[in-house]
């Protein structure tokens, strides 16, 4: 299957989101571990006045590693997250255009399968199914009328209905 512009962009953002989360978690964990060591172990508190690098070589190496890890994870986290956040913001208008296109197709045809919708939009099935579920089953909003996966397998929001088991979308007036 040939991916459309929407398909390429959405697939990139699905991958990009997973990548950013992994890198962010690594940076946050190393930052927290090094910060805890710096605050709780007096020998690693190089940021306080009067604390010097130890003359004992293994401790000096550990001090340099902990301090370097803190600085690299702090500066690296900021340097990574700002551009990643800007890139992530570009996804919003693209997803809105895709959502309008999907809603228009479903409204015109009244009933459409995910396979047919994949051919029409050029977006991978997994990516499109994920997006549709998120569009219909957004948590913490009052306009979700019913999400009944167990008995009917239907997710309903407004006029749009998604039969999860049959992988079909319906438009109800």
What is the CA angle 108-7-128, rounded to 5?
Answer: 60
Do 59 and 28 lie in a common domain? yes
∠ CA 146-147-149, rounded to 5°: 140
- Give the C-alpha separation, 173 to 3, whole Å: 32
Average pLDDT, integer, range 4-13: 89
Measured CA to CA, the distance from residue 161 to residue 115 in angstroms comes to 16
Please tell me the total count of domains within the chain: 2
Query: How far apart are alpha carbons 165 and 158 in whole angstroms?
Result: 20
| Dist CA 30 CA 79 (whole Å) | 15
pLDDT for residue 101: 92
Q: In the prediction, which pLDDT does 40 show?
A: 87
In a domain, 98, yes or no: no
**pTM of this structure:** 0.71
Share of the chain above pLDDT 70, in %: 89
pLDDT surpasses 50 at 143: no
Same domain, 115 and 78: no
Choose one of 54, 89, 124: the last residue of a domain: 89
Q: Tell me, yes or no, whether 77 and 19 share the same domain.
A: yes
Q: Are residues 83 and 115 in the same domain?
A: no
pLDDT tens-digit readout, 22-62: 999 999 999 999 999 988 888 877 667 777 777 888 988 98
13 with 80, same domain: the answer is: yes
Any bridge partners for residue 154, and if so which?
Answer: 148, 163
Q: Is the dihedral of CA 62, 67, 68, 69 positive or negative?
A: positive
Q: Is the pLDDT of residue 146 over 70?
A: no
> In 3-state terms, what secondary structure has residue 170?
strand
Are residues 28 and 83 located together in one domain of the fold? yes
Inform me whether the pLDDT recorded for 142 exceeds 70.
no
- Give the C-alpha separation, 75 to 41, whole Å: 22
pLDDT value at position 141?
56
């Amino acid at each position: 299957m040939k991916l459309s512009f929407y398909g390429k962009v959405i697939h990139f953002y699905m991958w990009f989101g997973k990548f950013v989360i992994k890198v962010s978690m690594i940076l946050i964990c190393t930052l927290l571990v090094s910060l805890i060591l710096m605050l709780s172990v007096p020998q690693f508190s190089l940021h306080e006045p009067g604390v010097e690098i130890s003359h004992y070589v293994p401790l000096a190496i550990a001090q340099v590693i902990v301090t370097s890890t803190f600085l690299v994870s702090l500066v690296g986290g900021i340097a990574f997250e700002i551009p990643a956040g800007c890139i992530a913001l570009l996804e919003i208008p693209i997803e809105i255009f895709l959502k309008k296109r999907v809603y228009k197709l479903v409204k015109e045809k009244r009933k459409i399968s995910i396979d047919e919708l994949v051919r029409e939009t050029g977006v991978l099935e997994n990516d499109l199914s994920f997006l549709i579920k998120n569009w219909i089953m957004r948590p913490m909003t009052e306009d979700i009328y019913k999400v009944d996966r167990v008995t009917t397998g239907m997710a309903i929001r407004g006029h749009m209905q998604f039969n999860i088991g049959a992988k079909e979308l319906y438009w109800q007036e």
